[in-house]
Amino acid sequence: MEVQLSETAQGALDRDCPVLVLGGPGSGKTTLSLLKAQAMLHVLQPGQEILFLSFSRAAVRQVEIRCRDILRSNERRQIVVRTYHAFAMDILRAHGRLLTGRVPRIVYPGDENLAKAAFDGDWGAEVERLARDEGRYVFGQFAAAAAQLVAGSSSIAALLANKYPVIILDEFQDTDDAQWALVKALSARSKTVFMADPDQRIFDYDARVDPERINHLRDHLGPAEFDLSGENHRSPDAGILQYANAVLMNRPLPDTKDVITRAYWANAFDSTVHAGVIWMLSSLRKAGIAHPSVVVLARTNALIGKLSTILGQEHSFNGQTIRPVEHDVLWDADLTAAAALVVASILEWQSYPKEAALGQTFDRIADYFDAKNAANASNTARQTSERYRTAADRARKGEMQRLKSAKALTASYDSGLVLQGDPAQDWLHARDLLGAGNDLSDLLANAKFVRLFRATDEIGSRLASAWDLHGSYGRAVGLVRRALEVGRLQADQRDPRGCVLMTIHKAKGKEFDGVLLVEGQYQGNFFRDTDTEVQRAAARRLLRVGITRARHQVAIIRPQGAPALVTPAGAPVLA
C-alpha cells in the first residue's frame, strides 16, 4: 500500500527512537507507527519481534486491520499486537514466581468484584496482601507486578529486550502509574515509539492516570516530538474534526453539512432517535456506502439500555411507521452478565423443586447487587444483596418471603411458568418477571442489554440446543455464563456494520461511517449545571471523542433547552 506522508510525518519516520507522535483522531498516528515498524524490520534478528501495545481489544483489532492494509504477510508475522494487560499478564505468568515463591494465580474481574463486595475493609490493602501472601493477582495489579519484575531483574529485562527490541505504545496519554513504571523499565533497553493525543484523555476519574503523563515522558526520555494535529485522514473531506475541536476548545461551531443537530420535545424522544438512525443509514447508503456502520452513543449505560428498547419497537414519525432496527449493544459486561444469570435462573425453574429454584434465583439477584456494589460502592446495593441472601435462605427452608419482589417472584413460580421452547420469547417472558418491584428496576434495565433477536445469537443457539435435547432449560445458568464469556471475547473482534449502541467511553479506538450522539432529557446529559470548570472540560473531551468516531456523518440529538455545546464570550447559553 502506497502512503503519502506529510513533511512532519516523514520526519518522524526518519528519526531514530525514542519518538513521540502527537495528533488527534484520524491524524495518521497508527499508520505512521506501522510504517516506522516496517522500516525497522530489517534490523531484527531471528526470533525477534516488534511489540505494539494498546489499551483495549477493540484498539488491538483496529491496529491489526491497519497492519493488513500496510504490511505484507511476512512483515505482519514479525509484529505482535497486544493489550497492556495481556502483555503484563504474560510477564507475570512466566516470571511471577520470583516475586513470592509461588506460582501466580489470576483473579478475574467477575471474581474480584464479588470478593470486593463481600470484603469489609480497605480493598486496596487486601489486594496487595493477596499478591504478597497468596500469589493471587487482580487485573489492576498486572502492570505493577510486571514492572517490578522487569525493573528488578536484569535477566528478565534483557530477555524481553532481546525478544522485543522495538516497542510501540498507543494512546500513551492514558497510561496509569503502574503502566508507566513498566514502560520506563522496558524503555531502558528497547527502542520506543509513543503515540498520544492529550485531548483524548477521558479517564480523569481514575486517580492513577496522571494528566501530566506526556510531560513525565519528556522528562524521562526526551523523545523527538512530531505533531500531526493538523492532519485528518479519517474524514479528510468533512468538517467533523473541525466541529469536534470547536466543541473541545469552546469556540464558535463551524457551519458544516457533516454534523447536524436535532432538538426534541420530551414526548417525541423515542420517535426522534429512531428516525435519526433510519435517516443516518439511508443517507450513508445514498452516499455510496453499501453496508454502512452506524453507532449510537450516549454517556450512560442506563440511556443505552433505553435506546436499545426504543430501536426494538415500532414508532410513528411524521405520519410514517418506522420498523424496528436490528442492532447490537456493546455493554459494560459485568452487570449485564450478572443480570443475565438471574434471567437464566428463572428459565431453570421448571427443572428444580420450588425451594431450590427460588433459592438459586434469589442468590443470583444477590450476586448482581454484589457486582453493583463492587463497581460503585453503595450501602443500598450491599443491603439489597444481604436482603436477597436472606430471601434465598428463606426459600430453601420453605418459609414465607418478606420482600415485595421476592413475594411476587414466588407467586410467579406458584402460578406456573409456561415456556414454549422459543429461546427469544422464553427469555423475554422470564426477564419481564423481574419487573415485579422497584428494587429490581436497575437489574431489569441491565438484563435488556442481552439481545436475542437472531436465531444465530450465541445465547439463543445454546438455549435452543438445550431445549431440543431435554425439553427444558435445566442448565441455563451455565450455558448463559459460557455464552457471555464467548461474547466478551468476540465483541471487540467484529468489524462494525449496521447499527451498534455503546457508551462514548466504550467507543474510544473505534471508527464508524456515521455517529449519533444522544442526550437524554433527564439522563446521560452532556453538561450539568453543577459542573466545575474541570468537569466541563472533561465533558468536552468526551464529546470530541464521540464526534470523531465518524468517518462521514454525525447527528447530535438533544432535548429542547439543553445547554449550548459551546459558550464562547457573548454566545447564548442554551441550545
Contacts of 456 (CB under 8 A, 6+ apart): none
| Domain assignment of residue 386, yes or no | yes
The model's pLDDT over 110-127, given as tens digits with 9 standing for 90+, comes to 678 777 777 778 888 998
Q: E-strand spans in 325-450?
A: 327-329
**61, 111, 115, 52: which is closest to 84 by C-alpha?**
52
25 in a labelled binding site: yes
Is 80 exceeded by the pLDDT of residue 151? Answer: yes
Using alpha carbons, select from 245, 214, 213, 218 the residue that is nearest to residue 229: 245
The answer to whether residues 341 and 398 belong to one domain is yes
Q: What is the per-residue pLDDT for 497?
A: 65
- Residue 145 pLDDT exceeds 80: yes
The answer, yes or no, to whether residue 484 has pLDDT greater than 80, is no
For residues 106 and 147, membership in a common domain is answered with: yes
- Compute the distance between CA of residue 438 and CA of residue 440 in angstroms, rounded to an integer: 5
Question: Residue 265 CB: number of other CB atoms within 10 A?
Answer: 11
Q: Do 384 and 318 fall into the same domain?
A: no
Question: How distant, in Å, are the alpha carbons of 17, 197, 264, 399 from that of 13?
Answer: 10, 18, 48, 73
**Is residue 94 located within the same domain as residue 180?**
yes
Tell me how far apart the alpha carbons of residues 220 and 312 are, in angstroms, rounded to a whole number: 52
* Domain assignment of residue 488, yes or no: no
23 marked as part of a ligand binding site: yes
Same domain as 354, residue 296: no
Does 514 belong to an annotated binding site? no
> What is d(CA 461, CA 273) in angstroms, rounded to the nearest whole number?
31
Is the preceding peptide bond at 109 cis, omega within 30 degrees of 0?
no
CB 313 within 8 A of CB 321: no
| Cα separation, 84 vs 142, whole angstroms | 9
Are 317 and 337 in a shared domain? no
Q: Is residue 513 predicted with pLDDT exceeding 90?
A: yes
The full DSSP string for 298-310 is ES-HHHHHHHHHH
CA 418/CA 424 separation, integer angstroms = 14
158 or 229: whose pLDDT is higher?
Answer: 158
Domain assignment present for residue 482? The answer is no
Asked whether residue 93 falls in the same domain as residue 12, the answer is: yes
Confidence of residue 570 (pLDDT cuts 50, 70, 90): very low
CA torsion 79-80-84-88 (nearest 10°) is: -130
Distance, in Å, from the CA atom of 175 to the CA atom of 185, rounded to the nearest integer, reads 14
Q: Are strands 320-322 and 315-317 parallel, antiparallel or unpaired?
A: antiparallel
Would you place residue 72 in the very low, low, confident or very high pLDDT band (cuts 50, 70, 90)? confident
- Per-residue pLDDT tens for 404-430? 999 999 999 999 888 989 988 999 999
Tell me the pLDDT of the chain averaged across its residues: 87
59 and 115 in a single domain? The answer is: yes
List, as one string, the DSSP characters of 177-203: HHHHHHHHHHHTTSEEEEEE-GGG---
pLDDT per residue as tens digits for the range 74-133: 888 999 999 898 899 999 999 999 999 889 998 877 678 777 777 778 888 998 999 999
pLDDT at 383: 92
What's the pLDDT at 232?
62
SS3 content of the chain, % helix, strand, coil (to 5): 55, 15, 30
Give, for 559, the enclosing helix (H) or strand (E): strand 550-559
CATH of the domain at 531: 3.40.50.300
Give the cell for residue 406. 421476592
Q: What is the DSSP letter of 524?
A: S
Domain membership flag for residue 484: no
Going by the DSSP 8-state scheme, the letter that residue 439 receives in this structure is G
- Residue 322 pairs in a beta bridge with 315
At residue 486, the pLDDT reads 63
371-404 per-position pLDDT tens digit: 888 767 678 888 999 999 999 999 999 999 999 9
318 and 444 together in one domain: no
Going by their DSSP bridges, the two strands 19-22 and 50-54 should be labelled as unpaired
Task: Choose between 208 and 513: higher pLDDT.
Answer: 513
Q: Is 120 helix (H, G, I), strand (E, B) or coil?
A: coil
Instruction: Specify the pLDDT at position 73.
Output: 87
Last residue of a domain, one of 199, 228, 257: 228
The DSSP call for residue 435 is: G
Report the 10 Å Cβ neighbour count for 283: 18
The letter for the amino acid at 479 is L
Q: Is residue 321 part of a domain?
A: yes
Q: Is 303 inside a domain boundary?
A: yes
Q: Answer yes or no: is 471 a known binding residue.
A: no
Other C-beta atoms within 10 Å of 300: how many?
15
Last residue of a domain, one of 188, 204, 228: 228
Q: Which strand (E) or helix (H) includes residue 296?
A: strand 293-298
pLDDT bracket for residue 463 (50, 70, 90): confident
C-alpha cell at 9: 510525518
d(CA 531, CA 518): 19
pLDDT at 456: 39
- Lookup result for grid cell 425439553: 471
Q: Is 24 annotated as a binding residue?
A: yes
pTM of the model: 0.65
Domain identity same for 35 and 134: yes
Residues 349, 292 within the same domain: no
Of 570, 555, 547, the residue nearest 259 (C-alpha):
555
Please report, for residues 196, 273, 331, 553, the alpha-carbon distance to residue 518 in angstroms, rounded to integers and kept in the order given: 27, 8, 16, 14
Residue 186's domain comprises 7-228
CB atoms within 10 A of CB 532: 9
Instruction: Measure the CA–CA gap between 142 and 178, rounded to whole angstroms.
Output: 9
pLDDT in tens, 17-35: 999 999 877 778 888 888 8
Let me know whether 532 and 463 are in one domain: no
Q: In angstroms, how far is CA 207 from the centroid of its own chain?
A: 19
Count the domains in the chain: 3
30 is in an annotated binding site: yes
- For residues 458 and 305, give the distance between their C-alpha atoms in angstroms, rounded to a whole number: 20
- Of 228, 262, 296, which residue is a domain's last? 228
Asked, for residue 486, whether it belongs to a domain, the answer is no
Would 104 be classed as within a structural domain?
yes
